[in-house]
């Protein structure tokens, strides 16, 4: 009874699933899921939940519209950016007929969602500097309904050249939707494309409160796009997608006081990253540290499997990227607290002796 495309389907391996059976949860330094190491403390204001929530809560939309400097009609609330990836694909792509395109190495949920929905996909590897291979993309636009671009990119950490994305928006006008996944945009706010959504009607932007806002457990995201696309997506999204407790806390996170706290936390994480990178260059087990505009770094080791296993034994969990074609011997490391960064450096320094 199972759909044929699901039988041999390789699911997304989330950070939690990879280690749920390991006896390493006590005093774990979890640097594998790009979560914020800084705890956000909120209490629910609403205590009664016998009624369904608003389908698209107006107060939350108004607050987020003020934060991103867009009209409320340009915003749709989703269960994290992952639902945004899925929702756009289900809305625009005909299974077995249309295709999506993405540029590895990048976030694997674009592939995963396409395979679940039985939608074909084309992978155009990014250039060696992690930029888009525009020439190759141009030659492969036949039947492409959606192009997914993670900016800044996960797992490489770089942001994409703005002129390349604008060229792509012009090239695909009236033919292809360009979805820019801005999950990490608070770490390089000047790289957002949100100001272009009413200029390019094929542009959709995905946002989340999971990273810089330190609310990964909340599962709250946003789609930013023109009103016509929002109206179509509203036909497809679940009738009551956002739980009332999520709305309650998201509203608190977006008030002026907590926005200041979020921005200060971003500065702390960026400073921790600078310290870590500076010190990791002292470790001779490391071959290269790639430039990063996010809350994580991609590090190339001489022997990443050895390092990965040794760190795991020390209860420091990072994300192994060795399976990716262009990321041989690479580990993706989330920026933790200053204490966690020091602990990581100490262990890598020991492994370098």
In a domain, 78, yes or no: yes
45 located within any domain: no
Same domain, 246 and 277: no
Looking at residue 352, its pLDDT comes to 83
Residues 273 and 227 in one domain: no
Domain limits at 236? 58-255
Q: Which value, to the nearest 10 degrees, does the dihedral of the CA atoms of residues 348, 283, 297, 35 take?
A: 20
Cα gap 127→134, rounded to integer Å: 9
Residues 312 and 173 in one domain: no
Can you tell me the mean pLDDT for 61-67?
98
Helix axes 338-351, 304-313, angle to 10 degrees: 120
Is there a domain that residue 156 lies in? yes
Question: Which has the closest alpha carbon to 192: 337, 69, 14, 274?
Answer: 69
* Per-residue pLDDT reduced to its tens digit, 83-133: 999 999 999 999 999 999 999 999 999 999 999 999 999 999 999 999 999
**For residue 181, what pLDDT is reported?**
98
Residues 32 and 113 in one domain: no
Q: Apex CA 289: angle with CA 265 and CA 268, to 5°?
A: 10
What's residue 11's pLDDT? 84
**Cα–Cα distance, 135 to 104 (Å, whole number):** 16
Phi/psi at 138 (5° precision): -55, -40
- Per cent of the chain over pLDDT 90 is 92
Within-domain flag for 170? yes
Q: What's the whole-number mean pLDDT along residues 229-243?
A: 97
267 and 205 share one domain: no
pLDDT at 353: 67
Instruction: List pLDDT tens digits, range 14-39.
Output: 766 666 544 445 678 999 999 999 99
- Give 34-59 pLDDT, tens digit per residue: 999 999 899 999 999 999 999 999 99
Task: Please say whether the beta carbons of 200 and 173 come within 8 A.
Answer: yes
Whether 47 maps to a domain, the answer reads no
Beta-carbon-side half-sphere exposure of residue 160 (alpha carbons within 13 Å): 30
| pLDDT over 80 at 180, yes or no | yes
Question: Please, which pLDDT band fits residue 190 given cuts at 50, 70 and 90?
Answer: very high
Beta bridge mates, 207: 222
Write the DSSP string, 222-284.
EEE--HHHHHHHHHHS-SS-S-HHHHHHHHHHTSHHHHHHHHHHHHHHHHHHHHHHHHHTT-T
pLDDT tens, residue by residue, 276-334: 999 999 999 999 999 999 999 999 999 999 999 999 999 999 999 998 989 999 999 99
On whether residue 189 sits in a domain, the answer given is yes
Q: Does some domain include residue 345?
A: yes
pLDDT for position 21? 47
User: Is residue 84 included in any domain, yes or no?
Assistant: yes
- Percent of the chain surpassing pLDDT 70: 96
My answer on whether 244 and 271 are in the same domain is no
Write down the pLDDT at residue 27: 75
Q: Is 127 exposed, middle or buried (0-12, 13-18, 19+ CB in 10 A)?
A: middle
How do beta strands 144-150 and 221-224 pair? unpaired
- pLDDT for residue 8: 86
Q: In whole angstroms, what is the distance from residue 349 CA to residue 225 CA?
A: 46
């Amino acid at each position: 009874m199972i759909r044929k495309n699901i039988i041999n389907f390789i699911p997304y391996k989330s950070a939690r699933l990879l280690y749920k059976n390991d006896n390493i949860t006590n005093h774990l330094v979890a640097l594998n899921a790009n979560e914020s190491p800084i705890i956000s403390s909120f209490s629910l204001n609403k205590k009664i939940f016998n009624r369904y929530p608003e389908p698209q809560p107006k107060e939350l939309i108004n607050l987020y519209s003020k934060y991103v400097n867009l009209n409320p009609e340009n915003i749709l609330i989703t269960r994290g950016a992952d639902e945004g990836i899925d929702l756009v694909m289900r809305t625009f792509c005909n299974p077995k007929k249309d295709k999506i395109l993405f540029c590895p190495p990048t976030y694997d949920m674009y592939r995963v969602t396409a395979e679940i929905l039985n939608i074909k996909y084309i992978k155009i590897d990014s250039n060696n500097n992690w930029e888009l291979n525009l020439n190759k993309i141009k030659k492969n636009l036949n039947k492409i309904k959606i192009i997914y671009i993670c900016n800044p990119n996960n797992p490489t950490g770089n942001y994409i050249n703005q002129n390349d994305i604008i060229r792509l928006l012009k090239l695909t006008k009236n033919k292809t939707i360009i979805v820019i996944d801005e999950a990490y945009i608070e770490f390089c706010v000047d790289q957002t494309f949100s100001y272009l959504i009413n200029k390019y009607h094929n542009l959709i932007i995905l946002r989340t409160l999971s990273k810089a806002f330190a609310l990964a457990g909340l599962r709250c995201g946003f789609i930013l796009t023109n009103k016509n696309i929002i109206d179509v997506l509203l036909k497809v999204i679940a009738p009551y997608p956002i739980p009332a407790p999520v709305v309650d806390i998201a509203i608190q996170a977006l008030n002026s006081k907590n926005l200041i706290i979020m921005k200060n936390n971003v500065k702390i994480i960026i400073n921790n990253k600078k310290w870590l990178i500076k010190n990791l260059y002292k470790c001779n087990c490391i071959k290269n540290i790639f430039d990063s505009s996010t809350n994580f770094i991609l590090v190339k080791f001489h022997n990443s499997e050895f390092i990965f296993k040794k760190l795991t034994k020390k209860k420091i969990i990072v994300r192994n990227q060795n399976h990716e074609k262009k990321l041989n011997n690479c580990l993706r490391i989330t920026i933790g607290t200053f204490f966690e960064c020091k602990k990581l450096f100490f262990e890598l320094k020991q492994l370098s002796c």
